[in-house]
């Protein structure tokens, strides 16, 4: 969504985003901290083969004509926090689809009747009915299904199909889907200030990493000696065994001004993961895939208030220097390379 927003700001009326690697497409789900709610132009995600084909014909005399439209016959898509109004006849079904977020979050689906008695059914990747469903609620009046993040039946980055049944009569209703995030999602380049952590405890965050070639920097500054622990495999990274509890850390003495002395700087810490590093988007299964989520834990030996900043650079190519030509460079983020 952030890439589409940048192209939209540059004047685009629509966006065709092509995958940069071969293989099947992944679901590009929105997470808090990105710009999904600010995107107003239509957009579509296509395979690398399709993108290469379009690119080859961009300079043809006839050009390339692209028409974006919703797939015919597709059920309505539920969006987090946006109510959908619907009507269902007696013993008739109305179906909707939602995509679960990539993180371990609680999901809630609720239906509120204007009149009648709608019942609610949810099924993973398929249409539910009264005999085949994953979750259901058949109370009198309104119904709510709350799916906990640790529910073994809840998949991540997959489709859930919601069915509303007019059980005993015609019904008019409002359907709402919401996500309760268990971790705050950091947005690239946007500092999160006025965060606090009690002495000896941890605060956890997550961030969206779009490519295995992305260079990642997480920095923290505060009024105490705050330390950072970072991982792609552990959603609660903390001090302990490297590779299990964390993959990278910035923790140590608070007596120098540069990240070269243990990645600990005066008043804060910084972690840098270079683009293409083997740990990027590599889960415990060992199969790398992107986009993915990374996780960071912040702790301190005393009560501390801090500001956390996540930045990502998807361009890992070095800047070319010319003999005797000065190059002005701004380096605003501690820990950046």
> How long, in residues, is the chain?
337
Q: How far is CA 166 from the centre of its chain?
A: 35
pLDDT band for position 330 (cuts 50, 70, 90): low
Coil vs helix vs strand at 86: strand
Strand order in the sheet with 106-115: 84-88, 171-180, 106-115, 143-147
E strand or H helix at 78: none
Tokens of 226: 């705050």
C-alpha to C-alpha distance for 242 and 239, rounded to whole angstroms? 8
Q: Higher model confidence: residue 258 or residue 185?
A: 185
- Going from the C-alpha of 195 to that of each of 81, 94, 153, 198, 226, the distances in angstroms are 25, 43, 33, 11, 11
State the Cα angle at 107 between 104 and 110, rounded to 5°: 180
C-alpha to C-alpha distance for 299 and 291, rounded to whole angstroms? 27
pLDDT band for position 174 (cuts 50, 70, 90): very high
C-alpha to C-alpha distance for 119 and 294, rounded to whole angstroms? 38
C-alpha to C-alpha distance for 182 and 194, rounded to whole angstroms? 19
For the chain, the average pLDDT equals 83
> Does the pLDDT of residue 248 top 60, yes or no?
yes
Closest CA to 93 of 119, 125, 56, 55: 119
> Does the pLDDT of residue 127 top 80, yes or no?
yes
Coil vs helix vs strand at 54: helix
Tokens of 336: 């950046």
Residue 211's pLDDT is: 81
Report which DSSP code applies to 190. -
> Does the pLDDT of residue 68 top 60, yes or no?
yes
Residue 223's pLDDT is: 79
Q: Which pTM does this prediction carry?
A: 0.60
> Does the pLDDT of residue 92 top 90, yes or no?
yes
Q: Higher model confidence: residue 298 or residue 254?
A: 298
> Does the pLDDT of residue 15 top 60, yes or no?
yes
pLDDT average, residue stretch 227-248: 90
- List phi, psi (to 5°) of 50: -65, -40
pLDDT band for position 257 (cuts 50, 70, 90): very low
Percent of the chain with pLDDT over 90: 34
> Does the pLDDT of residue 264 top 60, yes or no?
no
> Does the pLDDT of residue 261 top 50, yes or no?
no
- Going from the C-alpha of 300 to that of each of 200, 236, 309, the distances in angstroms are 6, 15, 17
pLDDT average, residue stretch 69-77: 78
Residue 221's pLDDT is: 85
């Amino acid at each position: 969504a952030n890439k589409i927003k940048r192209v939209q700001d540059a004047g685009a009326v629509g966006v065709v985003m092509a995958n940069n690697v071969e293989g099947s497409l992944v679901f590009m789900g929105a997470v808090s901290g990105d710009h999904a709610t600010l995107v107003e132009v239509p957009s579509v995600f296509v395979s690398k083969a399709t993108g290469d084909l379009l690119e080859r014909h961009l300079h043809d005399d006839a050009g390339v004509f692209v028409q974006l439209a919703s797939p015919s016959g597709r059920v309505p898509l539920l969006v987090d926090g946006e109510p959908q109004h619907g009507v269902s006849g007696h013993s008739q079904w109305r179906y909707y689809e939602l995509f679960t977020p990539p993180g371990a979050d609680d999901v809630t689906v609720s239906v509120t009747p204007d009149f009648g008695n709608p019942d609610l059914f949810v099924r993973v990747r398929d249409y539910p009915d009264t005999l085949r469903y994953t979750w259901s609620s058949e109370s009198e009046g309104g119904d709510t299904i709350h799916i906990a993040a640790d529910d073994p039946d809840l998949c991540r980055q997959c489709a859930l199909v919601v069915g509303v049944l007019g059980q005993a009569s015609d019904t008019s209703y409002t359907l709402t889907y919401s996500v309760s995030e268990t971790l705050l999602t950091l947005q690239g380049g946007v500092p999160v200030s006025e965060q606090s952590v009690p002495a000896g405890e941890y605060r956890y965050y997550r961030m969206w990493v779009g490519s295995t070639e992305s260079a990642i920097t997480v920095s923290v500054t505060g009024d105490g000696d705050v330390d950072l622990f970072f991982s792609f495999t552990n959603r609660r990274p903390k001090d302990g065994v490297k590779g299990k509890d964390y993959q990278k850390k910035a923790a140590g003495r608070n007596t120098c001004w540069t990240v070269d002395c243990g990645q600990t700087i005066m008043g804060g810490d910084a972690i840098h993961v270079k683009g293409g590093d083997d740990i990027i988007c590599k889960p415990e299964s060992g199969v790398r895939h992107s986009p993915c989520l990374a996780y960071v834990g912040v702790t301190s030996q005393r009560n501390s208030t801090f500001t956390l900043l996540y930045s990502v650079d998807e361009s890992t190519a070095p800047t070319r220097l010319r003999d005797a030509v000065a190059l002005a460079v701004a380096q605003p983020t501690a820990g950046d390379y």
